[in-house]
Structure 1
Amino acid sequence: MARGTKNWRQVVAAAGLVLTMGAVAACGSGSSDDDGKTSAATTSASSDVSGTLTFYNFLPEGNEGRWWDRFVADFEQRYPDAKVDVTRYSTEDYWTKTLAAFSSGDEPDVFIPNAGEDLDKYIRAGRIAALEEIVDVDAYNPSTLEPFKDRAGHLNGVPIYSYIILGWANEDLLAEHGVSVPRTWDELLAACGRLSAAGVTPLAMGNAGQDQFTTGQLQDALLYQLGGAGTTRDAAYGTDDVSWTDDNFVSGAEQMKALIDARCFPKGFTGMNYSQMTNLFAQGKAAMTFTGSWFADQVESSGARFRTAVFPLPDAPGATHSTERLEGILGGVNGLAASAKAAEKNPALVAAFLDSFGDVVDDYANTNSQLSVAADPRPQGSALQRSLSEVFSSAREIAPVSDTILPSTLRGEYNGSVVALTSGELTPEEWAKAMAETSERERPNFPELG
């Protein structure tokens, strides 16, 4: 299928499709006149959407699973000639089952991918629909759409939720030691020195075993500041002659070393796992930590009695892409994508399903304690959740974490090399050289860059 050659949005408009789905919380209410009867216009529009749409989902149980049950039921009531055939897998099985379905040619019409390599491999094979002519993108925060765009500018998915990686601060513990939430790099290093001298863990961190992603994500944030979004992928592929040995990569490694030299991390942190790391903070034993927005649930469920603040990572020396000023923030986006086959066969059905989600995207986020990707979010929940939403909505772009954009054969090498850097086994220059050599060796095995 030639991407972008058919204006599916015009096809849908010609069919008279009216997408006015109400909030999922009011499932089954439909669109009606004052007397409670379904309007003729809505009935006509609904009749133009027909057929069966297959949908792969990896949320078989829990609150989010129930939310999708309600969404599908409401969709089918609104469009009585349409049916959504939901196939559910455990999180562990979802990715392999989805890959197997695409490999066999029996791919789902719509599925939930991560923006990045999890979706790119299907884009490179020509199996994903370009959605810019199918969906109403006005429903979404523009920064959350960018991770789904390929180099040709085609939109290959729409977001359902996002996460961000940022700093967390125990304001009471900081205040006890005369320290404010750090807003600059110098303030961060000074806070680490003062707190560690007082016997307090400044910044909880742990990258043992399978949890090597923790320092990998911190390194990602530093490299974004110095090289921009996707810089590690560019170095991996050698795009535009970008190399791990470039000054910005070496400088990023040097700033990681500066944090260690300032005694920011707990003693023995390279032998500490993620659970131990986050418990240090949640139990009030560390003044700060650096992790994802999902951590809010743990903080709140722990019964922590201290005030918690979230803050973007201050800019290291030489930063050209400021996280401090929220020019961008490290994170990732999950979304909905459609197969090229489904969009070619039944564009009206695909458009109705995707746009129906766009109408209730804010409800999805608020119901499931996620960061809303809506263009005009109305966050609910705790003060901490609202603070996270404010930071997220203020960021002008999302810098994808390396775990989502590096080729799968390089992800472990990257995180492991950062562990070697933080443990002192590699100098910043040695780290950069090692990553360059690994990428060059593995590059013939990389999939084509999407």
Structure 2
Amino acid sequence: MAKKKPIAILALLLSFTLLLAACGQGGNNTPTTGAAGTDSSKSPGEKIKLSIWHNFSGDDLRAKVVREQIEKFQSEHPEVELDAQAIPPDGYRQRLKTVAAANEMPDVFFVQSGTSIKEFYDGGLIQPITSVLDEHPDWKNNFISGSLDTLSFDGQVYATPLSGSATSFLFYNKSLFEKYGVKVPTTWDEMMTAVKTFNDNKITPISLGNKASWLAQSSILSSLADRVTGTDWFLKAVNQDGAKFTDPEFVQALQYFKDLADANAFQTGFNSLDNTQMEQYFAEGKAAMMIDGSWALTNMAAAATEEQLSQIDITVLPSVPGGKGDPNSMSGGSGGGLALSKTVTGDKLKAALDLIYTVSGPEAMQAIADSNSIVTYKVEPDQSKVMPLFYKAFTLYKSLSLTPVYDAYLTSSATDAVNNGLQEVSLGGDPKAIAQKIQDAQARDLGK
């Protein structure tokens, strides 16, 4: 994956601005106490109180592994009173924003790479974890080159990825393709032909669950738009330096998404279905295709039957006519990791770093890989533990070049403009008008 270019300073969330007014400037915050992040001072014999928030709340295998590692830390550290909260993903980011505004940050918390962690860094709310990496050089040096870049600032690492992010696999049902004589699409014309054929036979062409609004952006547009514009154009548009989201190539990318919606590629009510419902709908054979991230692999490994899994194969999105991007690519990179609140000091700091190492270290990386989850760590999944579909996806992932996931690079308000805009486009909205909203948001946040 190309190394991320410097991005102009992002406009801070209003909640972080309010917090800074209470706590001081940037990285010079003085440790304070809060409901979730408490003072590290304690009396002799008193337990260290430590809190951790994460969004690994589901029944998928990766979520279970992360929770097991947290439990392992608790069993090995009887001197720590651990408050671990597993919060459903759809509401997780908003919960973090709310506690940030109230100065009640948890001591350790899961945060996505890119823009999301940068906002916490810019707000002076987190501190580096470089010291624990330096204590374990074998762990530090085993991450795939570049995988720490979007979790690092000014030469310091603020989190290590718990997984690799591959957001745009094209899953397809082999039986349905064979039954109706449809070619697995490698070009956009073939994709639209497949959509028509499946619709003609009363089969949903593509399963989509965009209730949380990020899915269409992360799993479809990020790769589809890169096919059209190329990565260099996107990075210039992000920086508002030589490209704008109103440029014809990006409007064309939005039009491709609109073409899918207009052709009834997705099931009725897809903007009201969540990611889990989308994956179940596909696994049950009600849709011929699904465009989803690597998380779908661990989800389906936990929920789908062996018979259902045996019908599923995997590839990448098709190429587009005259596209400037690499068709042998996929949006992705490093996933999120555990960040450390700026307020944590003393004995609590040592315990927090031990917790981060337990949940993110080599043993955890192997366990996460064996849970049918892609990691940006040099480890080979145990084929006796993972499903064949995952191993095929893992092998495919290693053969691809990775391109940016939009919400890891755009500002928060521009990301919202994309997410909301795709919902609007899918309901008949004008791609040019949506492109203008995205452009306005990104330019405003960068002061350009």
Residue 314 of structure 2 corresponds to residue 313 of structure 1: no
Q: Which residue of 2 aligns with 1:250?
A: 251
Structure 2 unaligned spans of 5+ = 1-24, 28-46
Q: What are the residue-to-residue correspondences of 1:56-135 with 2, within 5 Å?
A: 56-58=52-54, 63=64, 64-74=66-76, 76=77, 84-91=80-87, 110-131=108-129, 134-135=132-133
The sequence identity of aligned pairs, in percent, is 18
Q: Which residue of 2 aligns with 1:12?
A: none
Q: Which residue of 2 aligns with 1:415?
A: 419
Q: What's the offset of the Cα at 1:158?
A: 0.6
- Contact 1:109 1:338 survives alignment (8 Å): yes
Structure 1 residues 270, 54: CA separation in 2 closer, same or farther (over 3 Å shift)? closer
- Contact 2:226 2:403 survives alignment (8 Å): no
Q: What are the residue-to-residue correspondences of 1:285-300 with 2, within 5 Å?
A: 285-296=286-297, 299-300=300-301
Residue 203 of structure 2 corresponds to residue 200 of structure 1: yes
- Contact 1:332 1:399 survives alignment (8 Å): no
Q: What are the residue-to-residue correspondences of 1:361-400 with 2, within 5 Å?
A: 361-366=364-369, 368-379=371-382, 380-397=385-402, 399-400=404-405
Structure 2 counterpart of 1:223, from 225, 228, 247: 225
Which stretch of the first structure deviates more once superposed, 369-378 or 170-179?
A: 369-378
- Contact 2:213 2:271 survives alignment (8 Å): no
Q: What's the offset of the Cα at 1:342?
A: 5.3
Structure 1 residues 406, 268: CA separation in 2 closer, same or farther (over 3 Å shift)? same
Q: Which amino acid aligns with 1:291?
A: D
Q: Which residue of 1 aligns with 2:142?
A: 139
Q: Which amino acid aligns with 2:287?
A: A
- Contact 1:163 1:371 survives alignment (8 Å): yes
Distance 2:234 2:252 in 1: 14
- Contact 1:245 1:436 survives alignment (8 Å): yes
Q: Which amino acid aligns with 1:325?
A: N
- Contact 2:372 2:387 survives alignment (8 Å): no
Q: Which residue of 1 aligns with 2:433?
A: 430
Structure 1 residues 285, 360: CA separation in 2 closer, same or farther (over 3 Å shift)? same
Q: What's the offset of the Cα at 1:365?
A: 0.4
Local SS of the residue matching 1:431? helix
Q: What's the offset of the Cα at 1:417?
A: 1.4
Q: What's the offset of the Cα at 1:192?
A: 2.5
Structure 1 residues 86, 272: CA separation in 2 closer, same or farther (over 3 Å shift)? closer
Structure 1 residues 448, 343: CA separation in 2 closer, same or farther (over 3 Å shift)? farther
Distance 2:212 2:251 in 1: 23
Which stretch of the first structure deviates more once superposed, 374-383 or 100-109?
A: 100-109
Distance 2:398 2:416 in 1: 31
Distance 2:233 2:155 in 1: 18
Q: Which residue of 2 aligns with 1:159?
A: 161
TM-score by length of 1: 0.69
Q: What's the offset of the Cα at 1:229?
A: 6.1
Distance 1:128 1:437 in 2: 29
- Contact 1:142 1:375 survives alignment (8 Å): no
Distance 1:447 1:436 in 2: 11
Q: Which amino acid aligns with 1:142?
A: S
Structure 1 residues 60, 254: CA separation in 2 closer, same or farther (over 3 Å shift)? closer
Structure 1 residues 95, 53: CA separation in 2 closer, same or farther (over 3 Å shift)? farther
Structure 1 residues 338, 213: CA separation in 2 closer, same or farther (over 3 Å shift)? closer
Distance 1:367 1:417 in 2: 37
Structure 1 residues 260, 349: CA separation in 2 closer, same or farther (over 3 Å shift)? closer
Distance 2:217 2:73 in 1: 36
Structure 1 unaligned spans of 5+ = 4-50, 78-82
Distance 2:92 2:350 in 1: 27
Q: What's the offset of the Cα at 1:174?
A: 0.6
Distance 1:213 1:143 in 2: 25
Distance 2:92 2:114 in 1: 16
Q: What's the offset of the Cα at 1:369?
A: 4.3
Q: Which amino acid aligns with 2:157?
A: L
* Per-residue Cα deviation, 1:315-358 (whole angstroms, up to 9, x for no partner): 32344442x413x4346612122345658999977766555532
- Contact 1:312 1:329 survives alignment (8 Å): no
Q: Which residue of 1 aligns with 2:284?
A: 283
Local SS of the residue matching 1:250? helix
- Contact 2:73 2:355 survives alignment (8 Å): no
Q: What's the offset of the Cα at 1:173?
A: 0.9
Local SS of the residue matching 1:360? helix
Distance 1:292 1:94 in 2: 19
Q: Which amino acid aligns with 1:432?
A: A
Q: Which residue of 2 aligns with 1:31?
A: none
In the alignment of these two chains, the number of paired residues is 383
Structure 1 residues 254, 430: CA separation in 2 closer, same or farther (over 3 Å shift)? same
